[in-house]
Amino acid sequence: MNTTQHVCTQAGEVVRSLAVSPSEEHRSRRTKVLVVDDYVEAAESMAEGLREFGYQVEVALDGASALAIASHFTPDVCLLDLGLPLMDGYEVARRLRDNPQMPDDLRIIAVTGYAHEGARRRTTAAGFDAHLVKPVDLDALAMAVKNATARAANRRLGDA
C-alpha cells in the first residue's frame, strides 16, 4: 500500500500527487524536509531527489502554502527559495522562526538564484543556516540537509 504526498499551490490546490511506498515512508521518518520554490519543476526535482536519499518531503510553491504545510508537517529542514511571489523567502523564514509549532532546531537553507555576496550576507543576517545557489547539484543538496540535521542533533545532545 502506498501513501501519497502532495505538491500544493498558494490556494492549497493539489498540483501533483506522488505515491510513496511504505518502505520509503518508514525510512524517511528520520528527517522531514519542506521544499519551497515557485518553479514547479525545480521543486519537484529537489523533492524527488531527496526522497531517493530517504527523506520525507513535502512541497510548497509559495510562502502561504509553505506556512500552512509547515504547521502540520513540522519540518526538520526547510529548503527555501528567496524570490517567491507575494511573500519572499525572508518573510517565510521569519514566520517559520516565529511559529511556536516549529521545532527549536528547524534548519532553513536558502536555495536561490541570488549568488552575490549581498544576498549571502542578508540570508545569514536573516537566520538562514546555509545559502545554496541554483542550479544545485543533488548530492550537494542532500549533503547540506545532512549537515544541517547533524548540527541540530549535536546541539540537542549538548543541551541534554
User: Exposure of 86 by Cβ count < 10 A (0-12 exposed, 13-18 middle, 19+ buried)?
Assistant: exposed
Model-level pTM greater than 0.75?
A: yes
Beta bridge partner(s), residue 120: none
Q: Is the Cα dihedral 45, 116, 124, 154 positive or negative?
A: positive
Strand stretches in 21-154, DSSP E: 32-36, 56-60, 77-80, 107-112, 130-133
Residue 150: its pLDDT value, please?
Answer: 85
Give me the domains of the chain, ranges plus CATH numbers: 3-159 (3.40.50.2300)
| pLDDT tens figures, 77-126 | 999 999 999 999 999 999 999 999 999 999 999 999 999 999 999 999 99
pLDDT computed for residue 157 by the predictor: 59
pLDDT in tens, 115-137: 999 999 999 999 999 999 999 99
pLDDT tens for each residue of 32-57? 999 999 999 999 999 999 999 999 99
